[in-house]
Structure formats: C-alpha cells, structure tokens
Amino acid sequence: MQPSFEGIFASTVVPMRADEGIDFDALARHQRTVAGTPGIRGLLINGHAGENFTLSAGEKQDIVRCAREAVGPQSRLICGVYAESSAEAAWQARQAEAAGADALLVFPPFSWALGHTADGALAHHRAIRAQTGLPLMLYQASVNAGQMAYAPDTLAALARLEGVVAVKEGSWETARYEANLRRLQADAPHVGVMPSGDEHLLSTFLLGGTGSQVSIAALDPEAVVQLWDAVRQGDLARARAAHARLYPLVKAIYGTAPGTRATARLKTCLYLRGQIPAPTMRAPMTASGPDETQWLRSVLDEAGL
C-alpha cells in the first residue's frame, strides 16, 4: 500500500444553505479545520457522510476542487465514486482526477443490495480503472446492507485487480472484519485494509489494519488520532481512554435506529459545536428536530465536547 494512504482519513460532510444549495465557504472551512488536525492524513470526500447519493456530478467535482484548494497539497484526498451505471461511475472518476483527487473509493451501486455477481462487480471496477490512473479503493459494505457486501471470494478477486491499493472495511461487525482482514492479507497482501466501522474502532484497530476512513473523525478528529496512535504504540490505557470519549458519540450517531439518520445526527453535532453554520440536509433526508437536537446536545456534553 502506498504510504500516503496509511493512517486516519476523516470523512467530511457538506454544509448546506436553507435552500439546500452547497455552502462552499462553510465547506472549505470544515475541510480545512479537520484536515489541519495533527495526525489526520487526509480527507474522504463525496462519501456517505458527504451525501454523495444526493449530489449532481457537477457538484461532486466542485467539492473536490474546493477541498484541494482548502487543504493544499499536503493532505491526501480520497474521493468517493458512486453511480448505478458503470459508465457514469467511470466519468465521475475522470472528473475527480481532473479536479485534484489523489485516490478513488468505489462504492457498490445501491441496487446491488438486492444481489449481484462477482463478474459484474469486477466489470464495474475495471470500467472505472480504464478511465483513470488514480489508485482505487474498495468499499466493503456493512453486514446489514443486504447483498451489497462482497462475498469473501469476490472481495479477494476485486483486491487483486490492477490499481487497487486499499479496502475501506465497513462490515460493522468485528468477527467479519477479522475474517476479511485475514483473507486479504493472504490473497492480496499488497492491499491495505482500513477498518472503518465507527462503532468498532478500538476492537478492529487492535486486530490490525493500515488506517481508517471514518466520519466520526470529522467531529472529534483528536480522539480518533489518539486511539489510532495509542493502539500502534501498544498503549492500551490511552486507547481505552480515547474509546471512552468516542463511545457515546458513535452509539448515538451510528448505533441508534434508523441508521440512515447518521449523517443528519453528525451534522447536528457539528452545528452544535459551531463547526458548520447549519445542520441542513438535502431532501429526502431531514435535519434533526428539537428532540433529537437536545438529545445530541446531551451526548456531546457526556463526551466532553
């Protein structure tokens, strides 16, 4: 794995105005603040926390340009690529490369939750690779994401494709993470495995990996960096302290049903901390109401934030 893609990458949100248009000034501030935290190696943009499924292709490219200008050349930018069509995904990949991305995270189409074939998954990634020279990263979806999560043989075959350098492992279940980690280390040892289940960072970091791509690092980057560094240094007490700080946040944001509200909750927390000017979501998602907002305020207090 390329050294520049090891470590902690924060998955950032997209601040929006009341009319649901992108607030690019607030976006640049958010990206700059998070990327400037010591120990943060770069950003994941246009990911799930970035509401990628609601953005137009032009907006996605503009977000990459904004990030590149905001963080400069010292931070690595991983850009999510999501489309139901392989041709559209390949076009997005070219646009992201032109706008300044350093690597591409290829999300499986949401329709694959109903079923897909290994041949289809391989063809999708090959189509993207044919249109860009950027390193590719695979996305291993949650065990709760239907058939969108790759079967072990499919994941291993994808990892052996030319240009693949890492897997964002989001199985969201520690035993499955370990099984995938062991399979990838055996079949594609050159590919980095990045445990990225926000609720399970301590246990998966202890099992091993090459970094992480998580949106909780956009809210509390210092704690995620502390957890990562402490595990690598074998300082379990310090790791447990960082985990204790993160635990109420990750349980509230990601571990409370419905999981589809995670980005709305994350935005509300960032708003309450004064890091974005509004918690606006783009329809069909809705922002936190008064009750959820007050609850999240109490969670931030519990976490000392």
Is 59 inside any structural domain?
yes
52: in domain: yes
Q: Is residue 274 part of a domain?
A: no
Instruction: Give the position of tokens 């991983």.
Output: 78
Instruction: Supply the DSSP symbol for 131.
Output: T
- Domain assignment present for 51: yes
Write the pLDDT tens digit of every residue in 10-38. 999 999 999 999 999 999 999 999 999 99
- Our CA angle for 219, 223, 225, nearest 5°, is 105
Reported as a single tens digit per residue, the pLDDT across 154-188 is 999 999 999 999 999 999 999 999 999 999 999 99
Does the predicted TM-score (pTM) go above 0.75? Answer: yes
Number of domains forming the structure of the chain:
1
Cα distances from 280 to residues 97, 209, 267, in angstroms, run 28, 34, 8
- DSSP letter assigned to residue 189: T
Rounded to whole angstroms, the Cα distance separating 173 from 156 reads 18
Place of tokens 């904004």: 66
254 within some domain: no
Q: Please indicate, yes or no, if residue 286 is contained in any of the structural domains.
A: no
Instruction: Give 213's contacts (C-beta < 8 A, 6+ positions apart).
Output: 9, 10, 11, 44, 47, 78, 105, 168, 194, 196
Is residue 184 a contact partner of residue 210, using CB atoms and an 8 Å limit? no
Query: Does residue 155 sit within a domain?
Result: yes
- Does residue 295 form part of some domain? no
pLDDT tens digits, one per residue of 259-304? 999 999 999 999 999 999 999 999 999 999 999 999 999 999 999 9
**CATH number of 148's domain:** 3.20.20.70
Single-letter code of the amino acid located at 159: A
Q: Determine the structural domain holding residue 226 and report its residue range.
A: 3-238
